[in-house]
Amino acid sequence: MISCSATNQLTIDLDAVLGDPGTLALDPWDRGFAWQVQRPGEDEGFALFDPAAVPLFLVAREPAAAPWLARIPAQLLPGLLDFERSCQEMVFPAMWFLSRYPRGVELFQSAPLLVALLIHCARVGDWPMDTVVDLFSARRTRILDVCGLDGTRANLRLLGKLRCERFGHAEYRLLQRSRNLPGYEGLGHLRALDFRVLAFFLEHPAYATGRLFRGYDHDWPWAEFSRTRADITNMAGILGLGDMDDRMAACRDMDQLVRLHDRLVIRLNREKAKRIELVAFPEPPDPGNEHIKPIRDSRELACEGMSQHHCVASYHQRILAGRYYVYSVTAPERATLGVKLAANGEMTMDQLKLRYNGQPSAETRAMVAGWLAEAFRRSDCLPADDG
């Protein structure tokens, strides 16, 4: 499968490794890393910016490749493997340059995203080799300028903080577009930065300069934030309050955002209570049980929202449209269950919340999940048992 010659050239049988007929030859680092793919009936080929035929991590775990790997500087190999996780198609070109031009090693070790940016732009722009070689030892601000980004120290600080789980053309375009964000240069002062939050800022610019994301970290509760923001937006629309993004972005943290949400819940439920018209809902998809009761009309729904201090009343239209249903859960703890309805009537849990949108216990979740499984078995969604 993999063999290493006396001159430390590595040969990989692509058919054995990937089921792809052909062989891959890898030249050793100290002779200038390069690779050639030979396929049946084709001339041997090498193109610097072509993606690797075999991932480096597969090579690194093969005992037969140990002599070849030993020629790569020990301090570089872990970084190359990390680089491959986010820039798989760029690791072989990076190795080609680094093995020939050691001046680029410091750039790679301290700013791997700049190396990815440089290789990406060279590939897309079909840059002359001399240009790429010169840039590997150029000032970092110049690299940014040549790559179509602003060559400022603030931008370098931002890129240095940016966590990159994957880098490709989509991420490059995000970087380009982000330059137009209000307060762009200040983003480098955030506690953490990644492409997900950049994409969010581009879609909702108010948050780029607001207080809410100053405490952003890579464990940001995106699911909770997205649901809370969607609820606030929905309630604000019902109450005629207009766009709430500026107000949400001004919150100090998620706790303050949740308090804003809860105040709107109370306000919405009060408004609903003033003008509740009795509207019967469609028949529930399942009659429930002793502890899970269907909410059958608009007044029951409003009362559920008021007693539980959440915004379930805003699901009124979806229930009438047959796309949603709400159940009141009374044990093992008081909760509200929202289920989405498929066209065939099959239920899937959308949310299960305690008062003030609190999270239920594992026991409550397990009880509701068991009931949903039983409801599925009782429905016509499954074929009849032939046994």
326 strand-pairing partners: 338
Instruction: Please tell me whether residues 148 and 95 are part of one structural domain.
Output: no
* Shared-domain flag, residues 200 and 245: no
Strands in 292-294's sheet, in edge-to-edge order, are 292-294, 324-329, 335-341, 347-353
What's the sign of the alpha-carbon dihedral 38, 101, 130, 166?
positive
Question: Is residue 280 included in any domain, yes or no?
Answer: no
In a domain, 281, yes or no: no
Q: Tokens 């909760």 appear where?
A: 335
- pLDDT tens per residue, range 234-274: 999 999 999 999 999 999 999 999 999 989 988 887 787 77
240: region left, alpha or beta (phi > 0 left; psi from -120 to 50 alpha):
left
Q: How far is CA 359 from CA 43, 63, 204, 226, 369, in A?
A: 62, 49, 28, 16, 15
Number of domains in the chain: 4
Tokens 């048992």 correspond to: 385
Angle between helices 77-86 and 91-100 (to 10 degrees): 150
The residue range of the domain holding 264 is 222-274
Q: Does any domain span residue 215?
A: no
How many separate helices (H) and strands (E) can be counted in the chain? 19, 10
Question: Has residue 386 been placed in a domain?
Answer: no
Structure confidence by residue, pLDDT tens digits, 264-316? 988 887 787 777 788 999 999 999 999 999 999 998 998 898 888 888 989 99
Say if residue 59 is in the same domain as residue 81: yes
Same domain, 265 and 306: no
Domain boundary at 66, 100, 134, which?
A: 100
Does residue 51 sit in the same domain as residue 78?
Answer: yes
Q: What is the DSSP letter of 336?
A: E
Residue 285 domain-assigned (yes or no)? no
Is 283 domain-assigned?
Answer: no
Place of tokens 């994301």: 213
Tens of pLDDT, residue by residue over 104-163, are 899 999 999 999 999 999 999 999 989 999 998 899 999 999 999 988 888 888 888 899
Residue 272: the pLDDT is 74
What is the distance of C-alpha 183 from the center of its chain?
23
Of 247, 222, 221, nearest in space to 233 by CA: 247
DSSP, residue by residue, 203-236: HSTHHHHSSGGGG--TT--HHHHHHHHHHHHHHH
Domain boundary among the residues 157, 189, 210 is at: 210
The predicted structure's pLDDT at residue 234: 92
Same domain, 170 and 92: no
Task: Give yes or no: residues 201 and 171 share one domain.
Answer: yes
Same domain, 111 and 189: yes
Whole-structure pTM value:
0.68
- The full DSSP string for 30-77 is GG---EEEE-TTS--B--TTSPPSS-HHHHHT-GGGHHHHTTS-TTTH
Report which DSSP code applies to 26: E
**Pick from 81, 100, 119: which residue ends a domain?**
100
Is the same domain home to 300 and 338?
yes
Q: In this structure, are 300 and 353 located in the same domain?
A: yes
Residues 109 and 205 reside in one and the same domain: yes
For residue 73, being part of any structural domain is answered with: yes
Q: Does 324 share its domain with 360?
A: yes
Residue 5 domain-assigned (yes or no) = yes
